[in-house]
Chain A
């Protein structure tokens, strides 16, 4: 399950936990990438880059660079992938990184100061991610990105996922 913690930094206890990773760059420097499918996917989708080995990658211009030059956002995703027991500070991550983590990471945890906009809000195409997700937020479990989006748009804590699905299904396009 991917846990998403949202709240003001000065008011949430999550950031005081021992497994909270505040500085993504510092934590990533201690990480060794393994070249898993998900790591390669993160590099390709978030960085327009290609995995080479545990030390380097091929950037969007075809240059071989050390992994330290991966963007902070992509490093955030790679940390979530490799450190499922950590709560990763994702405040520095752009929307597309947040969306990638939600779509593809089935375990781990991230902290955000707010959700801001719905998932896929700034994607080039209008298709909604159809694979199931595994997200826990505010004590609620989400397996459908459309339901999560409904909750982000209009949080009603008393509704279950099924009730959200029923309430908002007529607003969604058919697959």
Chain B
């Protein structure tokens, strides 16, 4: 299990290495989790995130697809930059937990298992 605390929020990710998609449900806390994981990366913790706004601003997705540095990588709003970094994402999945917010077929592999996010004020659980 992966566990960190950042901004007074406890984050537990109960998953093995691999690629996972969030369920096709809105308002579960995915973008909030993205912001927390980015804050975590800035604080030196082994988690990070990437979202469409990063892509638009020219941040190369390969800069966060570094499994040696990040045990958890969240790709928020992947529908809007679908397919970008696909090969590297597949490589990272063997040694990191890749969480994808992608309502449509992610074009990463034939089957990407689903994961759930449960959010409270001070806790986020992914399983």
Contacts and interface: CB of A to CB of B under 8 A. Distances in A.
* Chain A residues touching B, range: 20 to 34
Nearest to A93: B26
A172 interface: no
Given A22-B80, A91-B104, A92-B80, A46 B27 contact: yes
A91 B26 contact: no
B80 A71 contact: no
Interface stretch (A94-102, A126-134, A142-150): A94-102
B53 interface: yes
A72 B26 contact: yes
A73 to B, nearest CB: 2
Interface string A91-128: 11111110000000000000001101000000000000
Interface string B100-118: 0101100000000000000
Interface string A31-48: 000000000000000111
A116 B23 CA distance: 13
Interface of A: 22-23, 25-26, 46-48, 61, 63, 69, 71-74, 76, 91-97, 113-114, 116
4 closest residue pairs by CB, A with B: A73-B26, A94-B26, A71-B27, A94-B25
